[in-house]
Structure 1
């Protein structure tokens, strides 16, 4: 099947795969927080990272923010620049983020998977290193600020 109907069908499959993957991540995060609450030792290493946004629309920003906040142990703190203006940054707090770069990579993976599942067009650009939407692209994510506490 090709054309618009095929694109919508393919997106439905991507959305189902994303939902399955996210449920697995949600379960893993719930187990981690529950374990930390129920055991006498704490593995808390809180931190805040700045995540460069590749979202194009306010809907994509809102969904990413909701997915981050829905996940136990993470919280969206702020978003700078609406998607319509391009660029943008989301600040995220993590309860278990001893390595800011690793935490940012996990968040970027969530963003990439969500955008790939949602978009009808342009999802392939998310993995192209030459694309401005790729973290390795011309702008890159190398200059992102990270604050750990």
Structure 2
């Protein structure tokens, strides 16, 4: 397991977390466009209507939302590796299938004797985008569900099924940090990518998948 340490300072994020004035730091339109596109897609999916008129109306709604309820900006890394993205997607599909079979086995064989736990997993990344995506990936894989996030320390709190011992907790944490590693390789910043290579050392080539 790679040591738990953050890759880069998060001064602005810590300021946001400690700010009790109620004033949020506004993002620029350049920083908000990924959120606007996501809201626009969700709007079209909810109405099952991607017509031009509905998309224009959805864009107006999205602009109103981001201005009335401003969130701290999610800063993009400026780096994307399509090969690692494809490998991440294939790996994710495999994990969904394997986890579904595992949860079904637990339900049929162990039943009510199955134990679970709430565990805290400090991530190494300083990126809100990576933290958010790790949480979404975990929630989509059967057997785990994120219940809280400490943004200032990049710590995820989640419900995890089939935890029988402290060793199982560490195994779960290692699996979650492996998701973080895969995401950094796919969409993380250049600094975080280089940090992953440095921490993995000679094993980096073997762990590229």
TM-score by length of 1: 0.69
Helix, strand or coil for the counterpart of 2:102? helix
Q: What's the counterpart of residue 100 of structure 1?
A: 169
Aligned-partner Cα distance in 2 for 1:24–1:75: 18
Check whether the contact 2:131–2:154 (CA below 8 A) recurs between aligned residues: no
**Gaps in structure 2 of 5+ consecutive residues:** 1-78, 201-209
**Gaps in structure 1 of 5+ consecutive residues:** 1-6, 131-149
Aligned partner (choices 62, 70, 88) of residue 154 of structure 2: 88
1:4-63 Cα distance to aligned partner (Å, 9 max, x none)? xxx75xx000100111111111110011112223x2533622012211122332222211
Output the aligned Cα RMSD.
Answer: 2.1
Helix, strand or coil for the counterpart of 2:157? strand
Check whether the contact 1:48–1:100 (CA below 8 A) recurs between aligned residues: no
1:87-123 Cα distance to aligned partner (Å, 9 max, x none)? 3211121011222111111111111112211125131
Aligned-partner Cα distance in 2 for 1:56–1:50: 17
1:72-94 Cα distance to aligned partner (Å, 9 max, x none)? 11011111124xxxx32111210
Q: Which has the higher helix share?
A: 2
| 2:137 corresponds to 1:67 | yes
Check whether the contact 2:130–2:180 (CA below 8 A) recurs between aligned residues: no
Aligned-partner Cα distance in 2 for 1:120–1:16: 18
Aligned partner (choices 180, 184, 190) of residue 115 of structure 1: 184
Larger Rg: 2
